[in-house]
Amino acid sequence: MGRTRSAVAAGTARCLEQRGAHKTTMIDIAAAAGIAKGTLYNHVRTRNEAYRLLAEVEVGALVELLTTDADDVMSALQAAGERVATHPVVRALAAAEPPALAVICLPGPQTDAFRATVQDALRQLVGPMVVGVAFRWLLSLLVDAGTTGERNRDAELLAALAGQAASMAGPPLS
């Protein structure tokens, strides 16, 4: 991603954390990104496009966590769960603007591609029988982060479930 787009995503994150989704303006995003308003409009035309750009960056980071440590399912799930649960924008929106998080949680044209990307990464990590449970667990962390111990326990249980499902499925057919 280009340097300006990265700055826009980072500026958008800062604004959402500090001001919330409804109070953030394009001028705020440009200032937080350290760019001129005209430059911002060359990359995103609306706040929703800026939010979408941030979501692309964050989904990419989440998928990287899920695929980097694919040999250790539990560690990958723990890292992904920690990122979702403790993300400053998620925590700020959960506290001040829960309906903004509902948009992320619900299927629809704004989120389907992001959901599919995360589900594909999870499918590769935990297998097709566990992907739905693992995905719903990550979504639940948006609303209720729980404690680190609870998240780690849940990741351990999901990893064990993935192992059991894989052993039940048997070797792949050639």
Q: Is the pLDDT of residue 174 over 60?
A: no
pLDDT band at 171 (very low <50, low <70, confident <90, very high): low
- For residue 106, tell me if it sits in a domain: yes
What's residue 110's pLDDT? Answer: 86
What's residue 106's pLDDT? Answer: 85
- For residue 12, tell me if it sits in a domain: no
**Average confidence score pLDDT of the chain:** 93
Contact 63, 118 (CB under 8 A): yes
- For residue 77, tell me if it sits in a domain: yes
Rg of the chain on CA atoms, in Å: 18
Give CA–CA dist 134/158, Å, rounded.
Answer: 7
Domain count, the chain: 1
pLDDT, tens digit, for every residue of 27-47?
999 999 999 999 999 999 999
Transcribe 84-127 into DSSP letters: HHH-HHHHHHHHH-HHHHHHHHS-STTTHHHHHHHHHHHHHHH-
pLDDT, tens digit, for every residue of 136-168?
999 999 999 999 999 999 999 999 999 999 888
Give CA–CA dist 80/65, Å, rounded.
Answer: 6
What's residue 71's pLDDT? Answer: 78
- For residue 41, tell me if it sits in a domain: no
- For residue 143, tell me if it sits in a domain: yes
Q: Where are the alpha helices (DSSP H) in the chain?
A: 3-19, 26-33, 37-43, 47-68, 73-86, 88-96, 98-105, 112-126, 131-143, 148-169
Q: Is the pLDDT of residue 173 over 70?
A: no
What is the pTM assigned to this prediction? 0.90
Two tokens, residue 157: 């249980």
- For residue 135, tell me if it sits in a domain: yes
- For residue 40, tell me if it sits in a domain: no
Domain membership of residue 161 as a residue range: 51-168
pLDDT, tens digit, for every residue of 93-144?
999 999 888 888 888 888 999 999 999 999 999 999 999 999 999 999 999 9
- For residue 33, tell me if it sits in a domain: no
